[in-house]
Amino acid sequence: MFSMAHNTGETMKQKIAILCSGGDVSGMNPALKRFVEYAHARGIEPYFIHHGFEGLIDNNITPASYADVTGIITRGGTKIGSARSKRFLENYYREIAAKNLKALGISMLIVLGGDGSFRGMERFYAEQGIAFCGIPSTIDNDINGTDYCLGVDTALGVIKGSIDQIRDTASSFRRAFVIETMGRNCGYLALISAMTSGAELCLIPEIPVNLHEYKGCFQSQISKGRDYFIAIVSEALQNTHEISQWFEKELGFESRISVLGHIQRGGNPSVYDRLMAYRFVTYAIDALLEGKTHSVICYTKSHFTFKTIDEVALHPYRIDEELLNLGREQFAPSHCQM
C-alpha cells in the first residue's frame, strides 16, 4: 500500500493530481481551475496528468499553477487533454502508473470520467493504495447513481441552439428534419431535447414506438397546412436513415438528416456546468482529505453523496421514470393533434 514515506524532518505537503478520461465535456476546464485554486487553499500541491490514463502511464505529470488555469473557465474541452486508455486495463501498465505517482509523492487522484474509468481506478486503488475520487463527467448522462454528470447542461444548450436554427430552415423549405443526438446507448440527450424544442417525434431506446402509428395523424396535419417536422433521434437507435426514409416514402415529405455529432461536446461551459464543476471538485478534494479512499461523488435529488464503484458501475443507468413518463405522454401517437 502507498504511504507518504518522505521523512525529511520538514512537513511535506500532500500532493493531489487530476486527470480527464473518456469523452471530454464542457465543464472540465472550470473543474481544473477550481482544482488548482482549492488545492492551494487547502494547503496541498496540485498536479495535472495529461491525456488521461495514458499520461499517467507515460509519466506526463506536471505541477499545476494558477497561471495554467488563467482564462480557461470559458473554454470547452480540457486543457490537460483526455484519452480512452486500453493500456490502463493491463496490470503491467497500472504498475508503471503507480511507480510514476509514487516517485512524485502523489497520493490522491481526482478522475473526471465515466464508470469505465472509475472501475479502472477502483482496481488501481485495490492494487496500489492510491486514493481517488471520481467525478461523473459525460454528456451522455448515463452513469448509474447520479442524476447529473458534468457537461450535460452545456451539451443540451448546444443541441437546443442547433435545433432552433434547423427549425428556421425546415420551416422555409417544407421539409422533415431528422436530427440525431449523441448519447451512446442512452436516450437522455434526445429525450430532453425533444421535450424542450417542440419536436413532433422523439425516438429513443427507452420509449419504443411504432412509426406507423403516427402516419394518420401526420397526414391529417399536412392536409391542414403543416409544412415541416422535427424528429429527434438518439444515436443509440442507429436508425436515423430509416426514419428519414419513412417521412419520404410514407408521407411524401422531403426529408433531411442532421447528425449533430461532436459539436455537442464543445462550447462555452454553461453557468450550471461551471457551478457544478466548482461543487464537484470542492467536495472531491474535501472527501480525499477527510480520508475517503475510493468513491464517486454523485448528485442525487439535489444533494451530493459519495457512492462506491459497485453502486455506480454494477447496474446500468436508467432515465428517471418521471421524465420518461412525461416523454411517453408528450410523444404518444394517441396524443398527436390531428
Residue 23 in the binding site for ligand F6P (CB under 6 A): yes
Q: Please give the single-letter amino acid code of residue 225.
A: G
The 10 Å CB-count burial string (b at 16+, else e) for 102-141 is bebbbbbbbbbbbbbbbbbbbebbeebebbbbbbbbbbbb
Copy the grid coordinates of residue 180.
Answer: 440525431
CB of 265 to ligand F6P, least distance (A): 5
Residue 138 in the binding site for ligand F6P (CB under 6 A): yes
Residue 139 in the binding site for ligand F6P (CB under 6 A): yes
Residue 135 in the binding site for ligand F6P (CB under 6 A): no
Residue given cell 428534419 in the structure block: 177
CB of 284 to ligand F6P, least distance (A): 21
The torsion defined by the Cα of 190, 195, 199 and 204, in degrees rounded to 10, comes to 30
CB of 182 to ligand F6P, least distance (A): 3
Q: Is 142 a catalytic residue?
A: no
Is there a contact between 263 and 139 (Cβ–Cβ < 8 Å)? no
Residue 29 in the binding site for ligand F6P (CB under 6 A): no
Residue 287 CA to residue 295 CA, distance in Å, equals 9
Is there a contact between 10 and 105 (Cβ–Cβ < 8 Å)? no
Alpha carbon 139 to chain centroid, angstroms: 3
The 259-288 contact track toward ligand F6P, x by CB under 6 A, reads: ------x-----------------------
Residue 15 in the binding site for ligand F6P (CB under 6 A): no
The 146-165 contact track toward ligand F6P, x by CB under 6 A, reads: --------------------
Kindly determine how many residues on this chain lie close enough to bind ligand F6P according to the rule CB under 6 A: 9
Candidate list 140, 142, 153, 273, residue with the active-site label: 140
CB of 46 to ligand F6P, least distance (A): 26
Sign of CA dihedral 102, 104, 108, 109: negative
Write out the catalytic residue numbers. Answer: 140
User: Which positions touch ligand F6P (CB under 6 A)?
Assistant: 23, 138-140, 182-184, 235, 265
